[in-house]
Amino acid sequence: MKKVSLKDIALQAGVSTALVSYVLNGKEKEARVGEAIAGKIRALAKELNYQPNHLAKSLRSGKTHTIGLIIADISNPFFANIARVVEDEAKRSGYTVIIGSCDENADKAWDLITVLINRQVDGFIIVSCEGSGNQIMYLKERNIPFVLLDRHFPDIQTDFVATNNYKASFDAGIHLISGGYTRIGLIAYKSEMYHMQERIRGYRQALQDSRIEFQDDWLKEVRFETMEKEVKVAIEELLSSDQKVEAIIFATYGLAINGLKYINELRLKVPSDLAIVSFGQAEVFDLYYCPITYLRQPLEMLGKTAVEYLLKKLKNPDEEMKQVLMEAKLIARDSSKVKSGWISG
């Protein structure tokens, strides 16, 4: 690749390379360069489409104005949309975002982190995946600035911006119970990740607070890699149990999509045969024949706040640690409407 150099500009302007350097680095005053010649140099740089060597520059300044964003799964619209928010917000402060998606795989996440460290990003925003806690420790020990987004590790003290998943899931349970549903299943990922455990805990607490005895076979944990098959089995089991469920909470968007497809195949009607509440966010919840009740996570605020905190840390490494849980909002639609004949108490 042949780039326009300071020398190219100097040759065309008929001045020294040093002089061009002074002007293009904004130091014409210190170097006492006349305005006419400075203007000429800037015009030539523009005309020749001169690209400053950010790399060399940033190796000196230690700043590249680039943020690395690691997301858990680019094909999940929640993360794709949050990436867009992060980009927009970073752009507003003059930062460019480069993105890596780890596909819920800790090895890929590690590859991406090392690649981006070597590409000299100023800091990271990370949606962690299972088994990546040691990577977060690595960043922390080396004082590499980062903010965790959407998912965090309760045992590792870090900055994070996430949803209050316990509360969201609790709200989903109480919403269904107050609509007359008592046999409620939860389909979640089989995962040690805190956000997933919190969704399970909130659901169980809602049952307990409503004096509904939790049944072991109401909770189905399926693996991310094989969810298509496992969600089908989970739904079949939930519907054939002694305490057959009349409502299902899906703990993620991907689970809900696979679940709804299978519910259609079974020709079950929502909500009369089965009421639904889901985490996640997708146009499909609006366009389904029976609009789906969902927990609206504060996607915009999560993304913006993560950028804001990271930029503060970049300016001031001694900035105090920030840990924020934001509330999701339950958007009630027809998929969980009050059971016919039920008088809410």
Q: Under the criterion CB under 8 A, does residue 315 sit at the interface with a second copy?
A: no
> What's the one-letter identity of residue 219?
L
Near a second copy in 19-38, by CB under 8 A: none
**Of 174 and 290, which has the nearer Cβ to a second copy?**
290
Q: Under the criterion CB under 8 A, does residue 283 sit at the interface with a second copy?
A: yes
Find the angle CA(103)-CA(108)-CA(110) to the nearest 5 degrees. Answer: 130
CB of 17 to a second copy, least distance (A): 20
CB 85 within 8 A of CB 303: yes
Q: Under the criterion CB under 8 A, does residue 144 sit at the interface with a second copy?
A: yes
CB of 244 to a second copy, least distance (A): 24
Write the DSSP string, 149-202: ES---TTS---EEEE-HHHHHHHHHHHHHHTT---EEEEEE----HHHHHHHHH
Assigned token pair, 43: 């015009």
CB of 204 to a second copy, least distance (A): 29
First to last CA, the chain: 73
Count interface residues toward a second copy (CB under 8 A): 51
Q: Under the criterion CB under 8 A, does residue 316 sit at the interface with a second copy?
A: no
CB of 103 to a second copy, least distance (A): 7
CB of 200 to a second copy, least distance (A): 25
Near a second copy in 73-132, by CB under 8 A: 74-75, 77, 80-81, 83-84, 87-88, 91, 96-101, 103, 108, 111-112, 114-120
The Cα–Cα gap between 144 and 152 comes to 17
Assigned token pair, 254: 């991907």
CB of 74 to a second copy, least distance (A): 5
CB of 84 to a second copy, least distance (A): 5
CB of 151 to a second copy, least distance (A): 19
Write the DSSP string, 12-33: HHTS-HHHHHHHHTT-TTTTT-
Site stretch for a second copy (CB under 8 A), options 9-17, 30-38, 269-277, 279-287: 279-287
**Nearest Cα residue to 264 out of 235, 237, 242:** 235
Q: Which of 66, 128, 293, 335 binds a second copy (CB under 8 A)?
A: 66
The Cα–Cα gap between 127 and 150 comes to 6
Q: Which of 7, 261, 269, 329 binds a second copy (CB under 8 A)?
A: 261
Q: Under the criterion CB under 8 A, does residue 239 sit at the interface with a second copy?
A: no
Q: Which residues pair with 147 in a beta bridge?
A: 125
Classify residue 290 by its DSSP letter.
S
Q: Which of 37, 133, 138, 332 binds a second copy (CB under 8 A)?
A: 138
Write the DSSP string, 65-98: -EEEEEES-TTSHHHHHHHHHHHHHHHHTT-EEE
Tokens 């016919």, residue located: 340
**Of 134 and 208, which has the nearer Cβ to a second copy?**
134
Interacting residues toward a second copy by CB under 8 A: 1-3, 49, 51, 53-55, 66, 74-75, 77, 80-81, 83-84, 87-88, 91, 96-101, 103, 108, 111-112, 114-120, 138, 142-144, 257, 260-261, 264, 282-284, 286-289
